[in-house]
């Protein structure tokens, strides 16, 4: 049984804690089922399902900590595991940054578990592949796709009385559709907690349309262009910035949030005033677990308000050292948008490039958050409010900081890879070379 | 929430599950267990035969069994502190079968006759179920029956036997060396891997292998608070298929490069490199920003290895060429029709690139691959022309090969093996030439060392690479350090601009532990050898920005 109820998990955790002799002990049990199906060249390559349960114990003496993990939950195995963690802890070097374990916390209820996703079986996965491959075969196109689903739980408790339990589900589907002659390629993907929201046929159809429309792309000169980034493309760059807002790096002078002469850019206006970024574990579209990696309750947090940096992540250690409250790192970000639809943005564009997604994004300069990467699977030239023709893919060199100062318009945010991101129209986006890749 | 996030969530403290790069199903163990031998070969053979007999009785036409014990030790430090010590073991068995002409795979951590029997039954059931969707039956290239054989990485010092304290002392001395020389921050790490792999198949091979790898690494950062600037320099080490002897820092394996500091071949002086790194990081804070334009590039093997990996290694993987990776890693510009002409000029006639799994000290070095094929070396590019790909048993027929190239790999017993990149290396030049000789002929150039930013499109045409340190070359001499350098090119254009390659005395290995491919993704370790090489008239951009 890979999923334990709250009561079952608590009973095991309490039992482990009763065996413990260390100064502090923490026990985490997690388990679940991960399933997947992968297809390419219009045929299924691999499919599988893994059911796993694991229990990890961290024992601490002073500032010395040791961990172990086991899969067997009988009393004898649990006793041995506690002894082993304690042995490892005694031999470990001191960690000067160790923070004492937290006492009881108030974790809210989460909406991360959906029973429909929990009910996914191999037949469902096969059907997703069939529904995706069939329209491609009928159109002389080639599909390659991947579905991964998860249903599981995590429970944690420690010798200071902390206890938390959460169940979650997720499903992630992506598909690449290529024309038989290799001159056109399209991509689409969706991720949800609730599999009922996933319609793999229509998602595939978006990739089909993009593949067909991208055939025989024309080369246009690289340079600075107004771009319309679909949410997937916008997310590719924005998430790199939003998840890099660590206070310690900023305080240490090695972050885009470090300030010349010392200090940080907290409280400064870094972006266009329309930029608002927050996280919320109870957001209906991207619910997340009620506690963070260091055990603190997750709360709604504003990161950027009207273009001003309002918060950075503070670990418990760094917060104490700096004399501030810790701010946990969130799991999903909400980038607020605007009113324009993607279609409106295209209609209102005199000359620009529509980007489906980016690929192979790598940091070029962490000082300025300059990134490079390429467009992929559906890049189109817009003129006088209409998509005119597909264009060859571009390499870009751009910083999301600069991007968020060049906003022309934003649309309604959509869930994309666990974040809520709007389509965005950005001026002066820097394309530095052309690629022949399709 | 994705699986990865879930794993992160599950450890509130210093859970070893949070360490990056651990193989699947790893459990923390005590240091002493890293040296215990595991179960003996005779017992492994008995267990493997349970699987082979079970699948045969259920109608499978082919079976291979991999009993794997994967040991890892990772040590992390930061300035004066030890951040983490992880000793981990992952132990289990993976069974792959062909039934009804279709692959099936199953794995279990229950390495008992009963556990293996059940797992074998599942593998056959999966193959039979999947055969309904199969369009063409699997055909395997023939392989020799090797009987009971063994192979071991020829190490001098088993890194697992060196006490943790000695390793931590080394890392802290590396950190001190960097801090004493003006670094503001330094992170250092040691990764050590021992794969104990037993392979058996219905082709009559029982292969026991003991594979060792090691990777020392650091990042040194200098900060100028007044100017609000920071710059880093990473280690110029390579992950190697060696024991702890790689860290001996032998003088005989050092090469003084034209920029005036040592590069390292098969022996690494980590403290010396940390001192150089601190000096480089400080110098980078005030180095001249590059003027964009065309330059002749002189690329050190520490840098060129990654360019080879991305622009030659990946596009010549046959599964990418055929479209199996279309939804993830991508496809390839090096299509079968180009190869069939026998005249596709991938590079200049100086370019000879070989694939191998037999190069001493390399990460890919093994006796047999993960489907029991004896390893070898073969040509990919000969005198600039594309001559071959990397293919395994079920792909060989597609390119008219009689046998597999022997480059099948799984990153764990629980992962299904598939075609992975072999070592892919540029052969040294046949004429005597050192890097000091090479630089004399360059009027306007840039000398690049170390692995920096890297990005390439999904068919491997257009790429952009940075580095760790850059030097301007003016009229045959080094003219100071440069910053904000990246070069952009097209694979075929770039390799055709190759005009000179240093000789074998300059040859060294570059490598990576974590090459990713497949869904779910699997990691693979691979080396790339080369000598310092010159490329003419390459487009260099300036990556400096102000925010």
pLDDT single digits (tens) A39-60: 999 998 888 888 888 899 999 9
Residues in chain B: 547
CA atoms within 13 A on the CB side of A83: 6
Distances (CA, A) of B184 to B220, B237, B278, B288, B380: 8, 21, 9, 21, 45
Category of B34 on φ-ψ map: left (φ > 0), alpha (ψ -120 to 50) or beta: alpha
- Which residue in chain B has the smallest CA separation from A127? B133
Q: How far apart are CA B534 and CA B435, in angstroms?
A: 10
B402 close contact with A: CB closer than 8 A: no
Is the pLDDT score of B7 beyond 50? no
Q: What is the pLDDT of residue B12?
A: 27
Minimal Cβ distance to A253: which of B26, B225, B541: B225
Enumerate residues 6+ apart whose C-beta is below 8 A from A7: none
Residue B484 at interface with chain A, using a CB cutoff of 8 Å: yes
In B, minimum Cα distance to A176 occurs at B327
User: Residue B3: is its pLDDT beyond 50?
Assistant: no
Tokens of B232: 């880093």
Does residue A71 belong to the interface with chain B, where contact is any CB pair within 8 Å? yes
Q: What percent of chain B has pLDDT over 90?
A: 88
Averaged pLDDT of chain A:
95
Q: Which residues of B touch A47 (CB under 8 A)?
A: 126, 130
pLDDT reported for residue A48: 80
Check B228 against A259: CB less than 8 A apart: yes
pLDDT band at B18 (very low <50, low <70, confident <90, very high): very low
At A391-436, the pLDDT tens digits run 999 999 999 999 999 999 999 999 999 999 999 999 999 999 999 9
Bridge partners (DSSP) of residue B190 are B75, B216
Task: Give the whole-angstrom CA distance, residue B149 versus residue A422.
Answer: 59
Q: Does B112 touch chain A (CB under 8 A)?
A: no
3-state secondary structure at position A46: strand
- Residues with Cβ within 8 Å of residue A344, at least 6 apart in sequence: A409, A411
Under the banding of pLDDT at 50, 70 and 90, the label for residue B17 is very low
Residues of A in contact with B228 (CB under 8 A): 253, 258-261
Q: Do B81 and A54 touch (CB under 8 A)?
A: no
In Å, how far is B234's CA from the nearest CA of chain A? 14
Whether omega before B520 lies within 30 degrees of 0, making that bond cis, reads yes
Contacts for B290 with CB less than 8 Å, ≥ 6 apart = B446, B470, B472, B482, B483, B484, B485, B540, B542
Identity of the residue in B8, B25, B27 whose CB atom sits nearest the CB atom of A293: B8
CA distances from B121 to B108, B365, B415 (A): 12, 33, 17
Contact A374 B457 (CB under 8 A): yes
Helices (H), A63-139: 75-91, 115-118, 122-138
Neighbours of A103 (CB within 10 A): 10
Mark yes or no for CB contact A40/B456 under 8 Å. Answer: no
| Residues A26, B460: C-beta atoms closer than 8 Å | no
Above 80 in pLDDT, residue B4?
A: no
Which of B232, B455, B516 should one mutate to test binding to chain A, selecting the residue with the greatest count of A CBs within 10 A?
A: B455
Cα distance from A280 to chain B (closest Cα, Å)? 14
By the 8 A CB rule, do B375 and B367 touch? yes
Residues contacting residue A18 through CB under 8 Å, at least 6 positions apart: none
Strands (E), B397-507: 408-409, 418-419, 423-426, 444-449, 454-456, 462-465, 469-474, 477-483, 485-490, 498-501
CB-closest option in A46, A145, A252 to B185: A252
Which residues make Cβ contacts (< 8 Å) with residue A297, sequence separation at least 6?
A105, A106, A107, A108, A290, A291
Lowest-confidence segment of A60-74, A291-305, A326-340 by average pLDDT: A60-74
Mean pLDDT throughout B345-368? 98
Handedness of CA B105, B106, B109, B112 (dihedral sign): negative
Residue ranges of B 178-197 with Cβ closer than 8 A to chain A: 184-185
Rounded alpha-carbon distances, angstroms, from residue B331 to A178, A273, B319, B417: 11, 41, 8, 20
Going by C-alpha positions, the residue among B77, B102, B91, B79 that lies closest to residue B25 is B91
Strand pairing category for A224-229 and A351-365: parallel
Q: Are A428 and A224 in contact (CB under 8 A)?
A: yes
Nearest chain B Cα distance for residue A182, angstroms: 10
Mark which residues 452-481 of B lie under 8 Å from A by CB. 453-462, 464, 466
d(CA A31, CA A14): 18
Which residues, 6 or more positions from B401, have their beta carbon under 8 angstroms from its beta carbon?
Answer: B141, B391
The predicted-structure confidence for A363-401, as pLDDT tens digits, reads as follows 999 999 999 999 999 999 999 999 999 999 999 999 999
Is B13 within 8 Å of A67 when comparing Cβ atoms?
yes
| Residue A45 to residue B324, Cβ atoms within 8 A | yes
> Does residue B10 surpass a pLDDT of 70?
no
B342 burial type by CB count under 10 A (0-12 exposed, 13-18 middle, 19+ buried): exposed
d(CA B42, CA B47): 9
Give 3-state DSSP helix, strand, coil % of chain B, rounded to 5.
25, 35, 40
Q: How many Å lie between the alpha carbon of B252 and the closest alpha carbon of chain A?
A: 35
Per-residue pLDDT of B82-111, as tens digits, reads 988 888 889 999 999 999 999 999 999 889
If one counts every other C-beta atom within 10 angstroms of the C-beta of residue B341, the result is 10
A432 backbone dihedrals φ, ψ, rounded to 5°:
-105, -20
Structure tokens at B450: 């170390």
Tokens 């790999």, residue located:
B409
Banded pLDDT at B13 (limits 50, 70, 90): very low
Q: Measured between CB atoms, does B324 come within 8 Å of chain A?
A: yes
pLDDT reading at B22 higher than 90: no
Beta bridge partners of A396: A373, A431
Q: Which residue, chain included where needed, has tokens 């992950």?
A: B239
Q: How confident is the model at residue A277 (pLDDT cuts 50, 70, 90)?
A: very high
Res B21: pLDDT: 66
Give pLDDT tens digits for B485-529: 999 999 999 999 999 999 999 999 999 999 999 988 899 999 999
Could you tell me if B107 and B119 are in contact, meaning their C-beta atoms sit under 8 angstroms apart? yes
The A residues from 118 to 147 touching B (CB cutoff 8 Å) are 122, 126, 129, 142, 144-146
- Other CB atoms within 10 Å distance of the CB of residue B147: 9
Q: Residue B1's pLDDT is what?
A: 29
Partner-chain contact B323 A146, CB within 8 Å: no
Do residues B20 and B76 touch, judged by C-beta distance below 8 A?
no
User: A87 burial class (0-12, 13-18, 19+ CB within 10 angstroms)?
Assistant: middle
Residues 26-65 of A with CB under 8 A from B: 26, 28, 30, 32, 34, 36, 38, 40-41, 43-48, 50, 52, 54, 56, 58, 60, 65
**A117-175 confidence digits (pLDDT tens):** 999 998 899 999 999 999 999 999 999 999 999 999 999 999 999 999 999 999 999 99
Q: What is the spatial distance between Cα B273 and Cα B188, in angstroms, rounded to a whole number?
A: 12
Tokens of B347: 């590079």
Distance from the Cα of A296 to chain B's closest Cα (Å) equals 10
Mean of all residue pLDDT scores within chain B: 93
Judge whether B30 is closer than 8 Å to chain A, CB to CB: yes
Side-chain half-sphere of B108: how many Cα atoms within 13 Å? 19
**Cα–Cα distance, B511 to B193 (Å, whole number):** 14
A2 to chain B, any CB pair closer than 8 A? The answer is no
Beta strands in A23-101 (DSSP E): 24-40, 43-61, 64-70
Instruction: For an interface test with B, give the residue of A42, A162, A190, A253 to mutate (most B CBs within 10 A).
Output: A253
| Residues from chain A contacting residue B115 (CB–CB below 8 Å) | none
Which of B3, B126, B539 lies closest to A150 in CB terms? B3
Q: Of A21-30, A172-181, B12-21, B177-186, which range is least confident?
A: B12-21
Averaged pLDDT, A308-333 = 96
Tokens of B5: 């996030």
Direct distance between the N- and C-terminal alpha carbons of chain B, in angstroms, rounded to an integer: 33
Cα gap B442→A220, rounded to integer Å: 34
Q: Is B542 on the interface with A (CB under 8 A)?
A: no
Residue B6 has pLDDT above 50, yes or no: no
Span B340-357, mean pLDDT? 98
Determine the distance in angstroms separating the CA of B4 from the nearest CA of chain A, rounded to an integer.
11
Does any CB of chain A come closer than 8 Å to the CB of residue B327? Answer: yes
User: Considering only CA atoms, which of B534, B454, B527 is closest in space to residue B494?
Assistant: B534
Find residue A52's DSSP bridge partners: A32
The Cα B206–Cα B43 span in angstroms is: 12
Give B118-176 pLDDT, tens digit per residue.
Answer: 999 999 998 998 888 777 899 999 999 999 999 999 999 999 999 999 999 999 999 99
Question: Chain B contact for A397, CB < 8 A?
Answer: yes
Output the CA angle A299-A303-A307, nearest 5 degrees. Answer: 150
B486 touches chain A (CB under 8 A): yes
Q: By CB neighbour count within 10 A (0-12 exposed, 13-18 middle, 19+ buried), where does B382 fall?
A: middle
Indicate the DSSP class of residue A218.
B
Rounded to a whole number, what is the distance in Å from the CA of A423 to chain B's nearest CA? 22
């Amino acid at each position: 049984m890979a999923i334990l109820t709250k009561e079952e998990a608590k009973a095991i955790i309490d039992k482990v804690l009763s065996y413990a002799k260390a100064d502090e002990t923490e026990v985490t049990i997690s388990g679940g089922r991960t399933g997947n199906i992968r297809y390419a060249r219009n045929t299924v390559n691999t499919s599988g399902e893994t059911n796993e349960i694991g229990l990890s114990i961290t024992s601490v003496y002073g500032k010395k900590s040791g961990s172990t993990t086991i899969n067997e939950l009988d009393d004898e195995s649990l006793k041995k595991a506690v002894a082993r963690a304690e042995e490892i802890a005694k031999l470990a070097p001191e960690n000067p940054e160790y923070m004492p374990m937290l006492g009881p916390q108030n974790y809210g209820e989460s909406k991360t578990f959906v029973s429909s996703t929990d009910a996914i079986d191999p037949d469902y996965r096969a059907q997703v592949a069939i529904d995706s491959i069939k329209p491609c075969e009928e159109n002389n196109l080639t599909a390659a796709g991947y579905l991964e689903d998860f249903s599981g739980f995590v429970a944690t408790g420690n010798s200071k009385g902390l206890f938390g339990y959460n169940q979650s589900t997720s499903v992630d589907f992506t598909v690449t559709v290529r024309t038989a002659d290799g001159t056109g390629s399209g991509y689409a993907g969706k991720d949800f907690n609730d599999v009922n929201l996933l319609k793999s046929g229509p998602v595939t159809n978006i990739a089909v349309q993009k593949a067909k429309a991208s055939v025989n792309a024309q080369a246009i000169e690289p340079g600075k262009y107004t771009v319309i980034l679909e949410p997937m493309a916008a997310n590719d760059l924005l998430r790199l910035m939003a998840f890099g807002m660590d206070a310690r790096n900023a305080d240490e002078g090695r972050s885009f949030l470090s300030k010349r002469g010392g200090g940080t850019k907290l409280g400064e206006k870094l972006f266009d005033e329309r930029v608002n970024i927050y996280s919320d574990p109870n957001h209906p579209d991207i619910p997340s677990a009620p506690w963070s990696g260091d055990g603190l309750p997750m709360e709604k947090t504003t990161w950027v308000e009207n273009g001003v940096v309002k918060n950075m992540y503070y670990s418990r250690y760094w917060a104490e050292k700096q004399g501030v409250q810790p701010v946990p790192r969130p799991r999903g970000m909400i980038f607020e948008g605007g009113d324009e639809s993607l279609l409106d943005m295209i209609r209102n564009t005199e000359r620009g490039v529509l980007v489906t997604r980016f690929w192979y994004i790598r940091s070029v300069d962490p000082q300025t958050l300059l990134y490079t990467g390429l467009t992929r699977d559906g890049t189109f030239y817009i003129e006088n409010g209409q998509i005119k023709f597909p264009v060859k893919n571009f390499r870009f060199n751009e910083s999301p900081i600069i991007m968020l100062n060049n906003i022309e318009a934003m649309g309604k945010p959509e869930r994309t890879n666990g974040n809520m991101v709007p389509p965005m129209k950005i001026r002066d986006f820097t394309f530095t070379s052309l690629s022949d890749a399709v | 929430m994705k699986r990865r996030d879930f794993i992160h969530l599950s450890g509130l403290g210093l859970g070893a599950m949070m360490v990056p790069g651990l193989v699947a199903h790893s459990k923390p163990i005590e240091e002493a267990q890293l040296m215990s031998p595991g179960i003996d070969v005779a017992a492994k053979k008995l267990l493997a035969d349970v699987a082979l007999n079970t699948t045969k009785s259920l109608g499978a036409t082919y079976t291979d069994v991999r009993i794997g014990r994967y040991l890892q030790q990772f040590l992390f430090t930061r300035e004066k502190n030890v951040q983490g010590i992880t000793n981990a073991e992952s132990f289990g068995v993976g069974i792959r079968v062909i039934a009804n002409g279709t692959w099936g795979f199953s794995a279990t951590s229950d390495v008992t006759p009963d556990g293996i029997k059940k797992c074998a039954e599942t593998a056959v059931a999966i193959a039979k179920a999947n055969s309904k969707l199969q369009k063409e039956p699997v055909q395997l290239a023939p392989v020799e029956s090797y009987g009971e054989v063994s192979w071991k990485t020829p190490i001098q010092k088993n890194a697992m036997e060196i006490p943790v304290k000695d390793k931590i002392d080394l890392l802290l001395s590396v950190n001190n060396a960097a801090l004493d020389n003006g670094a503001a921050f330094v992170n250092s790490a040691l990764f050590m891997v021992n794969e104990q792999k037993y392979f058996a198949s219905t082709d009559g091979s029982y292969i026991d292998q003991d594979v060792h790898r090691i990777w020392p690494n650091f990042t040194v950062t200098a900060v100028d608070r007044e100017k609000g600037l920071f710059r880093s320099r990473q280690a110029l080490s390579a992950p190697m298929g060696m024991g702890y002897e790689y860290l001996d820092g032998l003088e005989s394996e050092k090469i003084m490069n034209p920029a005036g500091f040592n590069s390292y071949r098969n022996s690494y002086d980590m403290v010396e490199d940390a001192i150089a790194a601190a000096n480089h990081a400080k110098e980078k804070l005030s180095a001249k920003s590059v003027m964009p334009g065309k330059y002749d590039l002189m690329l050190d093997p520490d840098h060129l290895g990654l360019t080879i990996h991305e622009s030659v290694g990946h596009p010549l993987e046959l599964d990418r060429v055929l479209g199996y990776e279309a939804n993830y890693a991508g496809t390839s510009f090096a299509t079968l029709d180009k190869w069939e002409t026998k005249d596709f000029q991938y590079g200049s006639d100086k370019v000879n690139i070989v694939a191998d799994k037999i190069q001493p000290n390399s990460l890919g070095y093994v006796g047999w691959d993960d489907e029991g094929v004896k390893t070898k070396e073969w040509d990919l590019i000969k005198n600039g022309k594309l001559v071959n790909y990397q293919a395994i048993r079920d792909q060989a027929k597609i390119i008219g090969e009689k046998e597999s190239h022997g480059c099948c790999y799984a990153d764990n017993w629980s992962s299904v093996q598939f075609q992975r990149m072999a070592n892919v290396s540029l052969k040294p030049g046949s004429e005597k030439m050192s890097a000091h000789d090479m630089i004399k002929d360059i009027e306007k150039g840039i000398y690049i060392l170390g692995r920096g930013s890297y990005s390439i499109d999904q068919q491997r045409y257009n790429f952009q690479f940075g580095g760790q340190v850059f030097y301007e070359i003016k009229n045959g001499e080094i003219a100071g350090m440069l910053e904000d350098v990246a070069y952009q090119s097209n694979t075929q254009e770039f390799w055709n601009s190759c005009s000179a390659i240093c000789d074998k005395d300059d040859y060294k290995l570059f490598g990576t532990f974590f090459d990713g491919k497949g869904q779910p993704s699997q990691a693979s370790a691979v080396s790339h050898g080369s000598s310092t090489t010159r490329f003419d008239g390459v487009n260099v951009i300036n990556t400096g920005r102000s925010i």
